[in-house]
Structure formats: C-alpha cells, structure tokens
Amino acid sequence: MPVRRLVLDVDKTIDEPDLIHLASVIEAAPGVKAVNIAVTEIDIETVGTNVTVEGDAIDVDALTDAIQQTGAVVHSIDEVVAGTYVLENKPRSR
C-alpha cells in the first residue's frame, strides 16, 4: 500500500537545521515529490513545525531517519494518506 501523504509534527533547534536544509533533506527521501514546512511554534531553544510530505510511494522509515539525521525530531505522525489515490479528509459534523 503506497503512502501518498504524511503530516508530521517535527521539532528542531533554533539554529540547526535551517528550514531550507530540512526541506531539501526531506525532498531527497525516497518517494517524496513535494514538501511543505510551516512553523507552528517558536520557543527559546526550539522551533515546532508542521511538515506535509506528498509523493507516490513515500518510504516512511527512510524519511524519518533522514529527518532525525539533521538533528530534528519527529514527535508524531498526524495524518497518513495511503492507497491508489489521494483521499481528502472530510471532517465530521457533530
């Protein structure tokens, strides 16, 4: 089952890696076609980011290893889209 989209909660230090380097490392991971990194929180020592990755068959283990080799930390996988096509999340009404 090919993974087509991941949304990750990733923290990094203020200085390293910079966002451009982090994006290039993520984009180079097997199966990744596009990456979006949005800063969600800035603390004295850390930057919290929301990382969205899309591709045809993302190698999740290689992706998380590549992120961690930069010194950043994957806290959680917040969304996974897998299968033969991208299925958009439809929020439930309550």
In whole angstroms, how far apart are CA 17 and each of 13, 20, 37, 40, 51? 7, 8, 13, 16, 14
Q: Are 58 and 29 in contact (CB under 8 A)?
A: yes
pLDDT digits (tens, 9 = 90+) for 25-63: 999 999 999 999 999 999 999 999 999 999 999 999 999
Q: What is the pLDDT of residue 92?
A: 80
Q: What is the pLDDT of residue 46?
A: 93
Answer yes or no: pTM beyond 0.85: yes
Nearest to 54 by CA among 16, 25, 86, 24: 86
Domain locations along the chain? 3-82
**Which CATH superfamily groups domain 3-82?**
MTH889-like domain (3.30.70.1340)
DSSP category for residue 76: E
pLDDT above 90 (res 90): no
pLDDT > 80? residue 94:
no
What letter does residue 93 receive in the DSSP assignment? P
